[in-house]
Structure 1
Amino acid sequence: MNTEVSLFGYMLQMRSHLLANKITEIHQLRNHSPEPDRKEIIEWRSKLFQHLGFALSEDYEKAQAEIQDWADFQEQKVPHEYSLTYYLNSVFYSRKLILCVLENEIKDNTVSPAALLEILKVIDPLLDHATSSLTNNYTKNTYSTETDEDLIITLEELKDFKFALNEATIFAVTDQNNTISYVNDHFCKISKYSRDELIGKNHGEIFKSGYHTEEYLNNILHSIQQGKVWKGEICNKAKDGTLYWVDTTIIPYLNFDGKTYKHISIQYDITEQKKTEEMLLKSEKLSLVGELAAGLAHEIRNPLTTIKGLVQVLQETTEDKKVVYSDIILTEIDRINYIVSEFMVLAKPHAIYFTECSLTDILKKVIYLLEAEANLKNVVIINDFNDEDVILYGEKNQLTQVFVNLLKNAMEALPNGGIIRVSTSLVKDKVRISIEDNGVGMTEEQVKKIGEPFYTTKATGTGLGLMVSYKIIQNHKGSISVKSELNKGTTFDITFPLIENNAMNTYSTTNK
């Protein structure tokens, strides 16, 4: 994490209790109730801000585990007498407050737009994790404390549940065929349809915006039919043709046979938030284009200077030297071509189509491809794969490119030979791939610059290979981290979500 992100994380931890009390004020305004929330609830909300701050300033994976524990009502001794929406709203309002704080920090120039994007990339998955964990724990605790008779959902109970959700959310109920049976006023307002126009219509068809692929939408349905809660963002089309974004949680209801017979959709309007994020992203892209253009000009100017000088003396030299100079010119032209090709991978939009692919097969193929080169350099590649094959949802050729780049870099860090260890391990709902070498290593300053355009520790390199790899990993909802010590070696850790989680949140898209 950079300094701005870490400092914001520490600030969240320090202000956690203040922000938790702010949520209480929001609840009172929303519910028109002067009654304050109980002390245990406020402490519980405060812990969420502390965990988010800890993820930004110190340890993401530890914070993720702590949020899992935070969502356990019985473990945290949190009152279980309120509705599920009440608890989910705590997560939703937490994000709203963090965005408000960030806006103020940006106005005061204490947080840059780039840092804001990095902060959101950290906290958004954690808040999604908090939402799904809360829903699962709430359902589990409710199930364990109710009798069989209580589990029969009566019409009266459903009406009570609808009433609780009507005030705070965009809410709908659909049957097993995705036919709408109920919508609240907020749903009608954002979609610009009347209730009569919506009842009996297919939810997926009437709001189809064309933004999402069929594969993405089918993954949502598949998840619901499996009885799993789905959480994500959806772009819908209103009656007048305008598009709007909603943060959506879909909760299926199962009968005694374990089959889905209806599901509820709880949504929040995030259209303005998406517009703000898009503007920030465009700003970030313009900044990156300028940086890339400057780097590209510098990298191309060097070989062009060499070519120009050799061409000027080519006609005045001997035949032997003409051959040598011609070879150098061709080499420099190849170098320019390589730089431009790598740059085009970053700059040119192209479609990415995700499929199921075996991580073990990809890694074995990469090791086989590089085996001859490794032998020539006296490098031994050891694989230590997880016993059970791991299936990822992604683009096989791009994943292959990532591991080829990382292994080649590892070999180049072993000028006198050495060992590279490639290992895989399962960490909760993710798979981790570690590529470790005992080579020359890097300084702390060098590690910080890894992944920047045109930064390289090699004598002949552009730094674009790692930048492309970082972008591919990001497009696959993954993350990458680097640990290195000078003269001792380097370890790259790459994590990807397992297919069960990745398939519902990753879809065919355009690489921008």
Structure 2
Amino acid sequence: MSKYRGRIAGMLIGFLLVIIWNFIFYFLLESPINLPLDLLYTVILCVVGFYSGKSYDINNNNLQEMKEKEAENKKINDEMQHVLQNIEEVVFRTDEKGHFLYLNQAWQSLSGYSVIESLYKNAFHFLSLGDRQEILPLLKRLKDEGKDKHKFDVSYQKKEGGVLWGEIHLKFHYDNNGRFIGSVGTIMDITERIHTEEELLEMNEELAIESQKLAVAGQLAAGIAHEVRNPLTSISGFLQLMRDNATKKQREYLDIIFAEIKRIELVLGELLILAKPQAIVFKEFNIVDTLYNVSQLLSTNAILYNVNIHTEFQKNTLNIRGDENQLKQVFINLIKNGIESMPNGGTITIKAGKENGKVFVSVEDEGAGMKKETLDKLGEPFFTTKTKGTGLGLTICLRILRDHRADVQVQSFEGEGTTFRLNFEEVKLKKKWKKSTGMLKAPVG
């Protein structure tokens, strides 16, 4: 009804004017009735009132639509500003000279500069000097070539000091004549990513150095082992001949010499294991059975140290793919290290199970634990905390685990013990549909 309000009002005003005209003309002036004139006057007033009201209705409807569109645009603009002011990426717009014309609130969080003090300043003012010298020629070349967008990384000077890295996505704007008129873009904080990449680069360099050291150690080990073994065999043989004709006192000394020669042979054997590439035969096997056999093998040795070996296996079957003999060597070495770390006795807990799609094995002791400096050096050739250790056992273990692509985690605290956790890829063996006649093996532990 409001859509036709003007036309209705116009018609009513027209009828009202006709009534007023008739009252004045016929009642007050007592003029004779002139029906054609009255009809003509009535039609003219009604037509004028109708079209005046129609014009009013059109203008009023247009005005209402404009208000609605303005309210809608304001709502959209408010929502857009809300989004722009709350996203983590910086959104900006510049003119043809590079001055900021728009910045959202993320700019202050990123750079430390407020939006008000940054507007209408040149964007290059906030770049570090080195990047400024590189970016300016690059942008000039891109504009000369008529490129419409580009992405690059730059470093910014923060207001409170320090440097942050930003990834800029820039879009160039040109007028109809191809003249550059400004740009819009975003800046994403990638400082953490850059630092992570730098740390990874340093880590890779350190690993490369360690790899070279291991290669050199392997070559030296092979050379030393071969050079020393031959004369050592001769010395051992002649000493054995001397022992047959030696006095009791001399035999005591010779026994000490033979013990030290055996220790030298042990070191040489470990050196050769470190230097010589070992043939690995990968096959699927149940690591629970392997751990059970290893724990039984070392239980007698553990009793001598007043150490109890406790096992906790989530399942009876946890299949992995690898060289069982080599992994046995790893488990034996880790358990022996745990036993030797508890001269006053204690408990070694061996756990195995499945977590996050991987098979894990952990060996936990209650020994003296290690300092952070010691943890950082674990696996380095010839580094050991034992008085009679060679420093090669753990190096060999880590190489075996690396060949098996196992994740190794070590956690140790002084006075609280050490935990080695190994993560392997699980192998799901195909089920054989046969009738079972045996009984399920009871969990060990």
Scaled by the length of structure 2, the TM-score of the pair is 0.47
> For the pair shown, which has the larger CA radius of gyration, 1 or 2?
2
Bigger relative contact order, structure 1 or 2 (CA pairs below 8 A, ≥6 apart): 1
